[in-house]
Structure 1
Amino acid sequence: MESVKRIEVLLERYFEGETTLVEEKTLRDYFTGEDVAPHLEVYCGMFSAFAKAQQETLPTTIKIPSKKRNWSWIASVAATVIIAIGLFSQLNQNAGYEGTYENEEVAVLKAKQAFGVMSKMFNQSTAQLEVVSEFQNAPAPFITN
Structure 2
Amino acid sequence: MIVKYNPKLKELARQLRRNATKSEVLLWQKLKTNQILGYDFHRQKPIDEYIVDFFCNKLRLAIEVDGYSHEILEVWENDVIKTRRLNELGICVLRFSDDQVFNDLENVLRTIEDYIVNYEANGNTPPSIPPF
TM-score for the superposition, normalised by structure 1: 0.21
Greater CA radius of gyration, 1 or 2?
1
TM-score for the superposition, normalised by structure 2: 0.22
Structure number with the higher strand fraction is 2
Structure number with the higher helix fraction is 1
Higher RCO (CA-CA < 8 Å; seq separation 6+): 2
